[in-house]
Structures are given as structure tokens and as C-alpha cells.
Amino acid sequence: MAKGRYITVVATACVSAADEQRFNEWYNNNHVPILMKNKDIKKVTRYKVNGEAPNGGTYLAIYEYDSAEARAAEHDKPAFQEAMAEMQQSWPQGGVDIKWMGTYDPIKAWER
């Protein structure tokens, strides 16, 4: 049996369709690289909804950790504080709408 990772899932949307490209470039080139300074984050994967966005979450980001403790400590890390401050600078008028988020513990993982 493969070991699953502990994850945080964040569903976001860009407030303005005109800012969509800027939002994705910012998320990919600024936001995630800053968060990845925290070595406890093992992997980040982003997705775009295929079809209608449930609960308005057009984009989904999955942040993976090796332990519940590492995931729980994320908000205390300097990288998280830096990412939040940078987000306020890059999007002072809003523009990034966090629709929902959740943390999940692994039950079982299957791999080929």
C-alpha cells in the first residue's frame, strides 16, 4: 500500500475575467514559489475546472505534506507570511477570491 500525503486544498477564482492571465501568472510565478520556500511542502498541483465551477472555485490548488504536523505548522512559517504579504501587495484591491479550503488526512493511496 502506498502512503498518502496530508493535503490542503484551496479553491480560488479570479474576480475579474480581464485579470485571468495576470492571476495565473502571479499564482504560478510568485505565490507558489514563495510558499515552496517552506521545505515541508512537498508538492503543489494546480487545476482549472473543466466545465462549470462548483461553489465558484474556478481553480484548485493542492498542497501536499508528509505529516499532519508539517501541514498544521504551515501558517507559522516565514514563507507563508511572505506569501500573504506579497499577495496583499500584488492584489491590493482584492482580485483573488478564496472560495473555500480544507485540510485532508490520507486514508489509503493507490499507485501503479
Domains of the chain: 6-104 (3.30.70.100)
**pLDDT reported for residue 95:** 86
**pLDDT reported for residue 2:** 57
**Nearest residue to 96 (alpha-carbon basis) of 37, 22, 35:** 22
**pLDDT reported for residue 55:** 80
**pLDDT reported for residue 3:** 76
Residue ranges in the chain whose pLDDT is less than 70: 1-2
**pLDDT reported for residue 22:** 94
Which cell goes with 35?
510558499
The reported pTM is 0.91
What is the number of residues in the chain?
Answer: 112
**pLDDT reported for residue 53:** 78
For 65, residues 6+ apart whose C-beta sits below 8 A from its C-beta are 5, 6, 7, 8, 40, 41, 42, 71, 74
